[in-house]
Structure 1
């Protein structure tokens, strides 16, 4: 009601009772591609991908509006277990990336497996050291605020 007719809200449910950061759970990278946290799978919709995590098989589900989208499963973070975090999880290190423009993504510099995977997936990777920010509650996506955007408002689901 406050957003007007130009915006639509889509509700998704994830297998995570303590979710706080959507950008550590489910990250649209560009039209037709999204990054999924394997520890917090989406349980809304139909199965679109199966994957293994910690020797267990999982189904990743998405609503019909995501039909045809490619789902990339985020790699397990290399963040040391002793690294301080505040209201976030180690997945911040590999899921909370920042898309600068379609096909270009900023990734934590210490997360070498994540960088390799993004390159394999066809993305240009800009590694930036940012671990020291994570104790304050997030990573790149959480630490940025659009001041200006160019381009037009577009729905990926029409």
Structure 2
């Protein structure tokens, strides 16, 4: 049986990688971080008390353990990383940066069908983030699975551009966070944004174009998981504050849409929020009929229930604090399904 097999976000989940808050770090506001978070040069961040950071890490691990119990109850194999030493500075010939945690495998790795891909991330502090998961990816490789990495980018200062007040990426190298991408069986949608450039799209299309149909979209400024989520064939969840029906990619014209506009603000613990209230949309599907939702999002749960989904509410207290929810902090490695045409 293949270990790596995932073509969508809704096929019956069989194996998943969850992140770890063990070495949680908050990125220095260098040029790459400011570009991603759209922060002006005048913005400065405070140093959060050590005790507060430790408390957040403890509470996040409690929530990860709760999530693990739910997933294992549905027969899902859960894998966790061995976080790398973040006390060592990440350095290239052109820049140096702190290293990042192993919290969000969805950002640094992409599963397309039977292949696991390490993404060429534009944030300097995330340059080696995928190495936190080497205990898992090496094992997959030793068992015959496909494992590749996109070209490592240079990330010089001229990679980061602003169009008036809007940040975007130059085309010097292929650049993308894997969370820019929506998988829909045979079709793959790539969001052009400040965390994914056209060169990144071209690299994916040239490398995997014989297996998938690739589509460029531009529906939000960075990752797609708080703007549009594909729930099952024919049904998508849409952020109603960012998208109208006319903004939905034309390939989905025959689908039904849930336009959601009532997220609950769960608050944040650090000096500024790394995610908006729309982290509420960052749901995780176990299969086409079962979905995990943050426990405070009662309105979203009601809407999904009316669509015939079994909703599992559970705690994820620090989605806004760290900038990621259930979907961001996980990577579905094996789901039932193939490269079908769902459009």
- Report the TM-score, using the length of structure 1 for normalisation: 0.76
Deviation at residue 70 of structure 1 after TM alignment: 0.3
Partner of 2:268: 83
**1:129–1:70 Cα change, 3 Å:** same
Structure 1 position 131 matched with structure 2 position 317: yes
Deviation at residue 121 of structure 1 after TM alignment: 1.7
**Contact 1:29–1:35 under 8 Å retained in 2:** yes
Residue segments in structure 1 that go unaligned for 5+ positions in a row: 43-48, 50-59
Rg: which structure is higher?
A: 2
Partner of 2:290: 104
- Structure having the higher helix fraction is 2
- Aligned runs of 1:61-76 on 2, under 5 Å? 61-76=247-262
Deviation at residue 123 of structure 1 after TM alignment: 1.0
**Aligned to 1:131, what secondary structure does the other structure show?**
coil
- The higher relative CO (CA closer than 8 Å, separation ≥ 6) is in 2
Partner of 1:10: 215
Question: In structure 2, which of residues 272, 279, 296 is the aligned counterpart of residue 92 of structure 1?
Answer: 279
**Contact 2:263–2:297 under 8 Å retained in 1:** yes
Deviation at residue 152 of structure 1 after TM alignment: 1.7
Partner of 2:12: none
Residue segments in structure 2 that go unaligned for 5+ positions in a row: 1-205
Deviation at residue 148 of structure 1 after TM alignment: 2.3
Work out the number of aligned pairs and report it. Answer: 135
**Contact 2:276–2:320 under 8 Å retained in 1:** no
Partner of 2:172: none
**Contact 2:279–2:325 under 8 Å retained in 1:** yes
- Report the TM-score, using the length of structure 2 for normalisation: 0.37
Q: What is the rounded CA distance, in whole Å, between the counterparts of 1:137 and 1:39 in structure 2? A: 19
**Aligned to 1:6, what secondary structure does the other structure show?**
coil
Deviation at residue 99 of structure 1 after TM alignment: 1.3
Q: What is the rounded CA distance, in whole Å, between the counterparts of 1:63 and 1:22 in structure 2? A: 13
Q: What is the rounded CA distance, in whole Å, between the counterparts of 1:9 and 1:139 in structure 2? A: 26
Partner of 1:36: 238
Q: What is the rounded CA distance, in whole Å, between the counterparts of 2:316 and 2:237 in structure 1? A: 19
* CA deviation vs aligned residue, 1:51-84 (integer Å, no higher than 9, x gap): xxxxxxxxx443442122101012321114x435
**Contact 1:76–1:91 under 8 Å retained in 2:** no
Q: What is the rounded CA distance, in whole Å, between the counterparts of 2:333 and 2:207 in structure 1? A: 21
Deviation at residue 151 of structure 1 after TM alignment: 2.4
Deviation at residue 98 of structure 1 after TM alignment: 0.9
User: Which ranges of 4 or more aligned residues in structure 1 deviate by more than 6 Å?
Assistant: none
**Contact 1:75–1:114 under 8 Å retained in 2:** no
Partner of 1:148: 334
